[in-house]
Structure 1
Amino acid sequence: MPHSTASHISVSKIEPRAGSSFDFGAEIKGVDSESLTEADTAVIIKALYENQVILFKSQQNLSPKAQYELTRLFDPTATGYGHGKTFDAKRSILHPDLKTIPHQPQVQVIGNGPVTEFEGLENITLKHPHHRTFHKEAISDEDDRENTRFYRWHIDAALYDLEPPKVTSLLAVKVPKTEDMTCRYDDGTGNELRLSRGSTAFVSGYKMFDLLSEEDKEFARTTKVRYAPHPYIWMSTAHSRSNGLGLLSEDVELPVSQLPLIDKSKIKTLPMCWKNPVTSKLALQVHPSAIQALHLADGTIIDDLREVRDIVYRLQRPGIAPELVYAVDWEEGDMALFNNRGVLHTVTGSFLPEEVRIFRQCNMAASEGVLGPDE
């Protein structure tokens, strides 16, 4: 339990790399994550919602329990799992990426390569997501070591039954430092971005909203997004756009008859814009791969999947321009906390089977729904 005293935490903005103009992200220093005071907690929460991504260095000794408690500061009554138990493990696209720590089940292990023992897990093989398993067209094997893609821009959320987590924490336990890669958009724009292998890339939903025309802002403020039931099974046979921002429309999504039993009361219809609880700014916050329909202010429902995807893509695409991407260059001991209700993020990069990379991830289904524009 945090105790009251003055905080010695300092917060400094992340300096964008040359040619970039992203305006979010901060580094926090002076934190004893195992023994937070009430003042520390107040500084961390404020910093998170003002900067969206906060980076703590040298957290090698942070226990899974302390990581869980730090993540839970933002939602003290949340105890469950961010992606829940709602998916059929063998068919969900999330299944290969998540392994649970036995003694702290809210914390998962992700990464790459063979691991003999880690936090009670024995003889596991981690697999870094590669775009060839999800994109319609992949970078050639010959070019794969030099080039990469944004795997899937997303929000950490079950988007069925459970509320989207408020915050996710990522702790870099083991990071193989290799040469940088070029992240190619391959969407006809010629856009590309130089980043370190395995960078986690973030974009701001607030910037995404600010870039809209006044007409589109009004549309976004007044429109709701209906997500597919059991979305990660529903989309398991579909393919991503080459820049990772949503799916191609090929009529290959699984029909209702092939999904687990659907409880209509658990289908999520959420605002297109989510309000920041500290700054009151609006984020264009949509998981583009899981969308199924749009509910407009006048009562119109757009449920033609191709049209729905085209509308959302048009609104979101300016926000992933190379200069707006914050790509974390991970070092061992780095821990990032991010506002899961204000940013989108994605895996990048590829690793050889023998390259061992270990991260711990924690998020929990929220105890309350998202804040809409009028709340």
Structure 2
Amino acid sequence: MPHSTTSNITIHPIQPPKGSTYDFGAELRGADLENLTDADAEIIKRALYEHQVILFKNQHALTPKAQYEVTRLFDPAATGYGHGKTLDAKRSILHPDLKTIPHQPQVQVIGNGAVAEFEGLKDITLKHPHHKTFHKEAISEEDDRENTRFYRWHIDAALYDLEPPKATSLLAVKVPKTQYQNLRYDDGTGDELKVPRGSTAFVSSYTMYDLLSEEDKEFARTTKVQYAPHPYIWMSPAKSRSDGLGLISEGLELSPCQLPPIDESKIKVLPMCWRNPLTNQLALQIHPSAVQKLILADGNVIDDLKQVREIVHRMQRPGIAPELVYPIDWEEGDFAIFHNRGVLHTVTGSFLPEEVRIFRQCNMAASEPVLGPEV
């Protein structure tokens, strides 16, 4: 990386539309992502931890190698794919969504439709996740074109064996531009939100923490979350709440004997609050669909799954209120990086089988654990 003490990069915070109050996100202008200097890299790293989601426009020519290198800025010792290689990928709920670029295996292809050739991949079919495959109750077929849901609020992380990635990058290669959709929470609150069709929606986990009562903040700072072993296989028969924020408890999760072999030492127990390495802010950072147990400050364990999910949902739900959601209106050439340890995100929208949409995604399991609330 060329050494330079100056940079041409400028930072422009995202201005929320009328009625929205989210306070994160920024566009960075003037970056040559194929030829970053030391000074450029420092500005980009700082911007991610200050703004959580950073966007570079008109990156049509960005190579998969450059995408990988930019994503690695936040963790140079990270090399592998962030969701990991599961022993039983076909049963994982992530299986249909990911294709690997042969010449840059850390970069995945996601999207929708039939693609004859892309970055060395031939005759692939991409499928945009639709909430009807994951939610307990779906929007009716006749209402589906105008309406959508949050598919699944999550963190990009294996949550078994590997450490959660620090950052994820997304490049919009091909984007069908169509109408806005009405995003419905369908949780009895009447909450809804206008989003561009196919938008990736983000919320700040720092705001999610700040909204808690003092009692809940204390609980969050002192509680640890134990995630299920092989969580994406474990949860595969279960169904989601209509707001996409965690699962409904019906006893459908797979039992240990139905999972690949479990190494107890690889089960992830993570703090409920993760600390920003730059600002020291605390994030309420939980993958609501993968939680299995809560370990309290006194060592007691809440292992009733329904109760665990109710506690987590009660704490996280205020943070996904419509005015706090930043839905990216993707345009071709948009390159976004998000702080995977400071936001939750979700797919939205639906596409017809013939509508072709292509994105490149990159994240890598981190080389170090998350920072907990202890200073």
Give the TM-score, by structure 2 length: 0.99
Letter in 2 for 1:94: L
Instruction: Give the alignment of 1:189-268 within 5 angstroms.
Output: 189-268=189-268
2:361 counterpart of 1:365? no
Q: Deviations along 1:222-260, whole A, 9 cap, x unmatched?
A: 000000000000000000000000000000000011000
Match of 1:78 in 2: 78
What SS does structure 2 have at the residue aligned with 1:90? helix
Residue 105 of structure 1 and its aligned partner are, at CA, apart by 0.1
Q: Percent identity?
A: 77
Q: For the Cα contact (< 8 Å) 1:33–1:66, is it kept in 2?
A: yes
Letter in 1 for 2:166: K
Inter-partner Cα distance in structure 2 for 1:295 and 1:83: 24
Instruction: Give the alignment of 1:318-337 within 5 angstroms.
Output: 318-337=318-337
Inter-partner Cα distance in structure 2 for 1:3 and 1:192: 48
2:67 counterpart of 1:67? yes
Residue 86 of structure 1 and its aligned partner are, at CA, apart by 2.3
Inter-partner Cα distance in structure 2 for 1:341 and 1:23: 17
Q: For the Cα contact (< 8 Å) 1:87–1:230, is it kept in 2?
A: no
Instruction: Give the alignment of 1:237-316 within 5 angstroms.
Output: 237-316=237-316
Match of 1:175 in 2: 175
Change (3 A) 1:87 1:27: farther
Residue 4 of structure 1 and its aligned partner are, at CA, apart by 2.1
Q: Deviations along 1:59-108, whole A, 9 cap, x unmatched?
A: 00000000000000000010011001025111000000000000000000
Match of 2:156 in 1: 156
Residue 286 of structure 1 and its aligned partner are, at CA, apart by 0.1
> Structure 2 regions of 5+ residues with no counterpart?
none
Q: Deviations along 1:189-233, whole A, 9 cap, x unmatched?
A: 000000100000000000000000000000000000000000000
Inter-partner Cα distance in structure 2 for 1:98 and 1:363: 12
Letter in 2 for 1:268: K
Match of 1:12 in 2: 12
Change (3 A) 1:87 1:2: farther
Letter in 2 for 1:254: L
Q: For the Cα contact (< 8 Å) 1:20–1:322, is it kept in 2?
A: yes
2:31 counterpart of 1:31? yes
Q: Deviations along 1:319-374, whole A, 9 cap, x unmatched?
A: 00000000000000001100000000000000000000000000000000000000
Letter in 1 for 2:253: E
What SS does structure 2 have at the residue aligned with 1:142? helix
Q: For the Cα contact (< 8 Å) 1:78–1:367, is it kept in 2?
A: yes
Q: CA RMSD in A?
A: 0.6
Inter-partner Cα distance in structure 2 for 1:237 and 1:90: 13
Inter-partner Cα distance in structure 2 for 1:353 and 1:292: 35
What SS does structure 2 have at the residue aligned with 1:312? helix
Letter in 2 for 1:286: I
Q: For the Cα contact (< 8 Å) 1:2–1:41, is it kept in 2?
A: no
Inter-partner Cα distance in structure 2 for 1:171 and 1:110: 10
Residue 48 of structure 1 and its aligned partner are, at CA, apart by 0.4
Q: For the Cα contact (< 8 Å) 1:87–1:232, is it kept in 2?
A: no
What SS does structure 2 have at the residue aligned with 1:251? coil
Q: Deviations along 1:124-147, whole A, 9 cap, x unmatched?
A: 000000000000000011011000
Inter-partner Cα distance in structure 1 for 2:4 and 2:187: 52
* Aligned residues between the structures: 375
Q: For the Cα contact (< 8 Å) 1:153–1:245, is it kept in 2?
A: yes
Inter-partner Cα distance in structure 2 for 1:327 and 1:139: 20
2:57 counterpart of 1:57? yes
Q: For the Cα contact (< 8 Å) 1:25–1:52, is it kept in 2?
A: yes
Inter-partner Cα distance in structure 1 for 2:259 and 2:192: 37
What SS does structure 2 have at the residue aligned with 1:274? strand
2:343 counterpart of 1:343? yes
Letter in 2 for 1:208: M
Inter-partner Cα distance in structure 2 for 1:82 and 1:90: 17
Inter-partner Cα distance in structure 2 for 1:235 and 1:17: 36
Inter-partner Cα distance in structure 1 for 2:49 and 2:265: 30
Inter-partner Cα distance in structure 2 for 1:79 and 1:368: 12
Q: Deviations along 1:8-37, whole A, 9 cap, x unmatched?
A: 100011000110000000000000000000
Residue 2 of structure 1 and its aligned partner are, at CA, apart by 3.9
What SS does structure 1 have at the residue aligned with 2:315? helix
Inter-partner Cα distance in structure 2 for 1:74 and 1:243: 31
Stretches of 4+ aligned residues off by more than 4 angstroms:
none
